[in-house]
Structure 1
Amino acid sequence: MLSDDRTQNAISHTALIVAAKRAIEHQRSDRLFDDPFAALLAADEIPVLLERWQKVGDDLTKIKAKRTRFIAVRTRFYDDFLMSAQLLASQVVILGAGMDARAFRLPWCNPTCVYEVDRPEVLDYKNSILQDVPAKCIRTVIKADLTDNWVDSLLSEGFSVSNPSIWLLEGVLMYLPEVAVFKLLQTISELSVDGSFLGADFVSVKSVEVGEKARESDRGRVLRHWQFGCDRPEDFLLNYGWDATVVQPGEDGANFGRYSECPPSRVVPGTRQVFLVTAKKNSSVILMQ
């Protein structure tokens, strides 16, 4: 998604990690979603994770449950969001699509157009793995870096700026520099009519600070690459014309029986937090440009 080669490779690797965690969730009898393609897309990452986790403690079952629950909850949360929003919009754009297999595994209404945007090598890899799997929608891939001009390709492939759209940025914004986040959200807003939908997860400012310390100590294969944090996503998105709802994993609507503890209170500043956000476009709520 980014133009720096080292960062690109790291982000591509996080896509494999997410696929591996989805594959592990899919193996559960009480799984929160079906993703039979995740294990194929994860390549060799599943045994790598299991080996790392086995070193943490003896009870691998409990370790797996704890280490995969966020991805499991986030995936199910945005599955539900997409299935609900598709009743009101028939064009979906998944930015930084990575190993997302929703085009192949979700029961899309007919005809729903799903556009996947990511770098060529990421989408080429996924296409090679799933080349014989029929999509359950009209799937179009847009091979482009999110910091480059992907809009022209999207429009040339039939995306309509006159119709409501659904945007998904799952595991994307925290990896981008602040200026790139601003530009990306401004672009999305300009392409979206009122009644469009947006799903995106955010991490808090403190989470990014923890990630910076992880870089210094060469720890944290995922969070060490975080660059953008936001403590009030609903206020932030309001500036771009989106009326947002924010929940934390573990709260009602984002638990699914996987969290026994409450998430950190949002009234306490300077805490590590993750936010699952859904929003609807409403140009009348724009506060500033």
Structure 2
Amino acid sequence: MDDIQPRSEAEDYSKFVPFSARMMAAMRARESSREDRLFHDPFAELLAGEEAFQRVDQQLTPQDQAYVAVRTRFFDNLLSHSKANQVVLLASGLDTRAYRYPWHPGTDVYELDYPEVLSYKIRLLENTPPTCKHHPIPADLTQSWKEKLLESGYQPDAPSAWLIEGLLMYLMEEQVHALLGVVSELSSASSWLGVDMINVKGVDYGPYEGYFRFGCDIPEELLLEYGWQAEVFQPSDEGANFGRYTEQYSAREVPDVMRAFLVKAQKTNSPLQH
């Protein structure tokens, strides 16, 4: 498990971000062990490794873990609702939906992430058959990745579902706009998008200070620029908390509060000109 090192052994940004995928897997494993679990990820414990559990215990709060639980369920529900035959997971990390999710027959799932993240996951799950037509695509999403997706069989004229889970906060603002521009270009009308964001104040969240770079106070406006009609939830809202996220957020207009957003959006029209 040396491919993705913990923060204590790899302080620089480029190595911590891949290691955070193991921390997310550790939290999904914890959720999966609960009797009242919101989802079941039978592979998360293996993928996380002991160091990631230790880092979660040292660095994150129970509410952080509840957030990952409701975020995972929120996006699972979005995928079920979308009924898309092609799904794109951007910065998929150690997400195992390609192996655990009950896709309908013939679904194509495209996973894009750093080569070391995908190879680590594929190696550990080499004896586990995917539940879809699985297309792992090594890519740096801050660089050119559109052609790699198209060459792997993605059909931009067909409806799709996209997940951008746990990514945008790590990018610079110009990288966020570049990414959303490509996603919009490759998405036909009626496609779905699931994405999580933090607000501007949330960039300073202690455990990730120095790693979070981008926040957005009004995700609806950002996504509308790219032709998406968005519905935005805070994790304590009805429709997003699933009875698990108990810390109540204040109304969004209250200033100087760190916030996280869970967003589902549908492609409705052409993006505005930039």
TM-score, normalising length: structure 1: 0.87
2:90 counterpart letter in structure 1? L
Q: Distance in 1 between matches of 2:169 and 2:53?
A: 26
Q: For 1:124, which of 119, 124, 135 is the aligned residue?
A: 119
Identify the range of structure 1 (29-38 vs 255-264) with the bigger mean alpha-carbon deviation.
255-264
Q: CA–CA distance in 1 between the matches of 2:148 and 2:245?
A: 41
The SS at the match of 1:283 is coil
1:234 counterpart = 2:248:
no
Judge conservation of contact 1:169–1:199 (CA < 8 Å) in 2.
yes
Q: Are residues 12 and 95 of structure 1, via their aligned partners in 2, closer, same or farther at CA, if it must alter by over 3 Å? A: same
**Residue 261 of structure 2: which of 275, 280, 287 is its match?**
275
For 1:18 and 1:159, how far apart are their aligned partners in 2?
27
Q: Could you tell me which residue of structure 2 aligns to residue 158 of structure 1?
A: 153
Tell me the CA shift for residue 256 of structure 1: 1.1
Alignment of 1:27-66 (within 5 A): 27-49=33-55, 52=58, 65-66=62-63
Matched, 1:78 2:91: no
- Contact (CA 8 Å) 1:264, 1:273: kept in 2 or not? no
Determine the C-alpha separation between the residues in 1 that align with 2:149 and 2:93: 17
> Following the alignment from structure 1 to structure 2, what is the Cα–Cα distance between the partners of residues 254 and 261?
12
Where does residue 24 of structure 1 map in the other structure? 30
8 Å contact kept, 1:69–1:258: yes
Offset, 1:200:
0.3
Task: Report SS of the residue matched to 2:238.
Answer: coil
2: CA distance between counterparts of 1:203 and 1:232? 10
Unmatched runs of 5 consecutive residues or more in structure 2:
1-10
Q: Does 1:91 align with 2:97?
A: no
The residue type equivalent to 2:214 in the other structure is F
Consecutive unaligned residues in structure 1, runs of 5 or more? 57-62, 215-219
Summarize deviations over 1:160-185 as a string: whole Å, max 9, x none.
Answer: 11111111000000000111000000
Distance 2:212 2:142 in 1: 16
Residue 154 of structure 2 aligns to which amino acid in structure 1? F
Aligned to 1:141: 136
* Aligned mates of 2:141, 2:163 — CA distance in 1: 13
> What secondary structure is seen at the aligned counterpart in 2 of 1:224?
coil
> Percent of counterpart pairs with the same letter?
45
CA deviations on 1:19-66 (whole Å, 9 max, x unpaired) are: 00100111111111000000011012354146537xx9xxxxxx6x43
Distance 2:15 2:56 in 1: 22
Q: Supply the RMSD in Å over aligned alpha carbons.
A: 1.7
**1:265 corresponds to:** 251
2:210 counterpart SS class: helix
Q: Distance in 2 between the 1:223 and 1:274 partners?
A: 15
- The equivalent of 2:4 in structure 1 is none
In the alignment, is the contact (CA less than 8 A) between 1:73 and 1:256 conserved in 2? yes
2:165 equivalent in structure 1: 170
- Indicate the residue corresponding to 2:210 in structure 1: 224
- The structure 1 segments of at least 4 consecutive aligned residues displaced by more than 6 Å after TM superposition are none
**How far off is 1:267 after superposition?**
1.1
Is residue 205–residue 270 contact of structure 1 (8 Å, CA) maintained in 2? no
SS in 2 for 1:159: coil
The one-letter code matched in structure 1 to 2:97 is R
Matched, 1:250 2:236: yes
Q: Distance in 2 between matches of 1:126 and 1:27?
A: 20
Partner SS, residue 36 of structure 2: coil
Task: Label 1:109 to 1:280 Cα distance change in 2 as closer, same or farther (>3 A).
Answer: same
Judge conservation of contact 2:47–2:121 (CA < 8 Å) in 1.
Answer: yes
Residue-by-residue CA offset, 1:111-140 (whole Å, 9 max, x unaligned) = 100000001111000001111101000000
The one of 101, 106, 110 aligned to 1:111: 106
User: Matches of 2:167 and 2:246 in 1, distance apart?
Assistant: 27
Query: Where does residue 3 of structure 2 map in the other structure?
Result: none
Q: Distance in 1 between matches of 2:187 and 2:248?
A: 35
Q: Is the CA contact (8 Å cut-off) linking 2:23 and 2:53 kept in structure 1?
A: no
TM-score by length of 2: 0.92
